Amino acid sequence: MNVTELTERPRLASKAMLRHDEVRDAELLLLPERVVRLSDSSAAVLRLCDGARTVGELLGRLREDYPSSDLTDDVLGFLDDARQRGWVVVA
């Protein structure tokens, strides 16, 4: 299943947790036996992956937060990559 479908509802995989590391002031994705340091924009996308929002709604929200950027291709590419890595599943 391809996340780039605007009607799909991505959610964070059950094995993954987002955390903010106060000491390092960094966004982290915690996985079994692995920690991924995320960029602020990657963390913003993953926080919106709750299984309730469609990809289209997620993009709309990001456009509100970052109006000066065309995020569509970057966000769709990131979601596909996150899905392939097992960080995101499609509901």
CA-based torsion, 23, 16, 1, 10: positive or negative: negative
DSSP the chain: --TTSTT--EEE-TT-EEEEETTTTEEEEEETTEEEEEPHHHHHHHHH-BSSS-HHHHHHHHHHHSTTS--HHHHHHHHHHHHHTTSEEE-
Q: Which domains does the chain have, with CATH numbers?
A: 10-85 (1.10.10.1150)
pTM assigned to the model: 0.88
pLDDT for 2 beyond 60: no
Taking only the tens place, the pLDDT of each residue in 24-69 is 999 999 999 999 999 999 999 999 999 999 999 999 999 998 887 7
pLDDT at position 1 over 50: no
- Residues in contact with 84: Cβ distance below 8 Å, sequence separation at least 6, in sequence order: none
